[in-house]
Amino acid sequence: MMYLMETIKCFPGKKEEFVKFIAEFWRIIGKYGIVKPEGLWLAESGDSDEVTVLISVQKPADFEKRWEIYRQDEELLKHVQKRAALGEATQMKWLRPAAPSPLK
């Protein structure tokens, strides 16, 4: 399993709309079972418009299939195209667990 962490700088006044966008994105892409939402974090520093999204991917090779899905699923494609108006990614990292979580 791998995790994909992405930090997005939302455009002014678009953070709330971006959070709703992500929730809807997870609903749409969830039917394919490629990714599992792990969380959405909002920056707590003042007026920051940063949002960090974390998803888990069981098989990273399957994650690449999302491009094929985007082309075939009209609802998903239209939804993803809205993202450009909400913000831009400032950081994207693949993370792998180094040790089991003590919380599980």
Q: What is the pLDDT of residues 25-41, one digit of tens each?
A: 888 888 888 778 888 78
Does the pLDDT value for residue 51 go beyond 80? yes
Interval 11-34 mean pLDDT: 88
pLDDT for the residue numbered 86:
94
What does the DSSP 8-state code read for residue 20? Answer: H
- Between CA 20 and CA 31 the distance in angstroms is 18
Domains of the chain and any CATH numbers: 2-95 (3.30.70.100)
Mean pLDDT of the chain: 84
Question: Given this model, what pLDDT does residue 103 score?
Answer: 66
Confidence at 14, pLDDT banded by 50, 70, 90: very high
Nearest-angstrom CA–CA distance, 33 and 30: 5
For residues 57 and 46, the model is more confident at 57
Residue of 67, 6, 66 whose CA lies nearest to 35: 66
Q: In what order do the strands lie in the sheet with 35-42?
A: 35-42, 50-57, 2-10, 87-95
